[in-house]
Amino acid sequence: MPEAIATPKTKTSATAGHLPAAVFQELEIAKDETNLFHQTIEQVLIASQLVGLKHHQQIIVAQPLNEIMVHFPVLMDDGHHELFKGYRVQHNNALGPYKGGIRYHPQVNLDDIKALAVLMTMKCSLVRIPFGGAKGGVKCNPRDLSPDELMRVTRRFCSAISNQIGPDYDIPAPDVGTNAQIMAWFADTYAQTSPEHERHDTLRIVTGKPVGMGGSAGREKATGQGMVDVLKEMLPELGIDLARMTFSLIGFGNVGGWTARLFNELGATLVAVLDDTGAIHNDRGIDSGALRKHVGAAGGVAGFQEAEQISTDEFYSVAVDVFIPAALEQMIGPEKARLINAKVIAEAANAPTTPKGDAVLKQRGIEILPAILCNAGGVTVSYFEWVQNKSSVYWTLDEVDERLNTHMVLAARRVKVARVKYECDTRTATYCAALERIGKVYDLRGVFP
């Protein structure tokens, strides 16, 4: 196993579990340790108390402002109708319009969407963009839907929530199972159902659109590009050189695929990948371009000829410098955390590590770079897209990359400062750096009336 890194002394473990419990009790939340929303809120409350958020500010951030649930029928290709369930959770808009992706996945549920909306509030605050946090989703398996069915699901979902979103109020984007084409259908539906004289201004109802339809240069690779910017800032203190490091990936979709490609271009070596079809390993390196072609044709990494097929447990045990989860939430529990053979976990996926997994990693001296810092590049370039749509002035890829780099590097430095100021681990420090800004805004605004 690679040499372990000494973790800084923290005072968060002493506060964990005490004070947040009072807020859970006050809000009548029956805490369930396996519930992602409860896990997320507990971490946010620990950080809120460290930064000294007032009681009313703590209870505001502990719950979403709005939870919207819809059911809508869709005509399927064989002529029958199916009823779909969709969600939009608007967590907080103190800093600006609600912002967050839309997910299509069979396991989409209200509490997970609530947790992801909280993370969006924290992420937007951390990278200092003028947005609040939201998240949405439709419970479906997009792989089981034909392109026509996918389009009809998207159009019906958009029309079902269209009165609750808006280009200056709540702006969705792609997430797991959705992409630029889905954003194009979503934007078109919103435009068609808006008054004609407002249609020209409806394009920015979603970000992550195709470049030919108002999308931004660099949006597709933005989350991966943001990972590069953050890791360049955070890895040197951990004794790792990005250009020489080895890394493994869970997930080879938008975020995983782009992260692999950009890291490969800088000289880093991808040695193992796991996705929902299987796991592959090659110590001499996996070419991300060749793997992208294979995944495009085969639907997943299984069967890739230029690597050995391995089991899931073998995948977690592969020795690497940096382990990058870029798939779903809660994949690294205590068992997997005990197998991981890396110096650093860089979370590209949202909430991939459970609190129990986190504790095992900490105890083993493995540093965790948290998602709200690592994957904030996506929402940052979404913000750039929204600004470009609003102003009708479009930026080059170099301009986008440069502005993104500024936001990501400053966010990483903010986290380092918070880690020292609050004597806490890196995850708590990311929340502290985010919550400081939210607390200040609430101090200025007060509470109506």
φ and ψ at 3, to 5 degrees? -55, 135
Contact call for residue 300 and ligand NAD (CB under 6 A):
yes
Q: Does 174 bind ligand NAD (CB under 6 A)?
A: yes
Give yes or no for residue 353 binding ligand NAD (CB under 6 A).
Answer: no
Closer of 222 and 235 to ligand NAD (Cβ): 222
**Number of chain residues interacting with ligand NAD (CB under 6 A):** 24
Determine which residue in the list 245, 326, 340, 412 makes contact with ligand NAD, applying CB under 6 A: 326
Binding of ligand NAD by 256 (CB under 6 A): yes
Residue closest to ligand NAD when measured from CB atoms: 253
Asked whether position 378 contacts ligand NAD by CB under 6 A, the answer is yes
176 binds ligand NAD, rule: CB under 6 A: yes
Nearer to ligand NAD among residue 275 and residue 367 (C-beta): 275
Q: Report the alpha-carbon distance of residue 449 to residue 440 in Å, rounded.
A: 18
- Please list, residue by residue across 42-61, b when 16 or more beta carbons sit within 10 angstroms of its beta carbon and e when fewer do: bbbbbbbbbbebeeebbebb
**CA 354 remoteness from chain centre:** 15
Rule CB under 6 A: choose which of 67, 82, 111, 276 binds ligand NAD: 276
DSSP state of 4: P
Exactly one of 95, 231, 250, 435 binds ligand NAD (CB under 6 A); that residue is 250
CB 112 within 8 A of CB 176: no
Decide if residue 252 touches ligand NAD (CB under 6 A).
yes
293 is catalytic: no
User: ω before 73 within 30° of 0 (cis)?
Assistant: no
Residue 145 touches ligand NAD, criterion: CB under 6 A: no
Tokens encoding 98: 């609600």
Residue 285 in contact with ligand NAD, rule: CB under 6 A: no
Nearer to ligand NAD, 176 or 418 (CB): 176
The yes or no reply on residue 328 touching ligand NAD (CB under 6 A) is yes
Catalytic one among 99, 114, 123, 135? 135
Site stretch for ligand NAD (CB under 6 A), options 175-183, 233-241, 282-290, 419-427: 175-183
Amino acid at 422: Y
Q: Is 295 helix (H, G, I), strand (E, B) or coil?
A: helix
The conformational region for residue 13 under phi > 0 = left, psi -120 to 50 = alpha, else beta, is alpha
Structure tokens at 166: 């808006």
Distance (Å, whole) CA 421 – CA 410: 16
Query: What is each CA distance from 244 to 224, 240, 263, in whole angstroms?
Result: 18, 8, 10
Q: Please count the other Cβ atoms lying within 10 Å of the Cβ belonging to residue 254.
A: 22
Q: Indicate whether 327 belongs to the interface with ligand NAD (CB under 6 A).
A: yes
Q: Is 62 in the site for ligand NAD (CB under 6 A)?
A: no
Residues that bind ligand NAD (CB under 6 A): 174-177, 223, 250-256, 274-276, 300, 326-328, 348-350, 375, 378
Residues acting as catalytic residues: 135
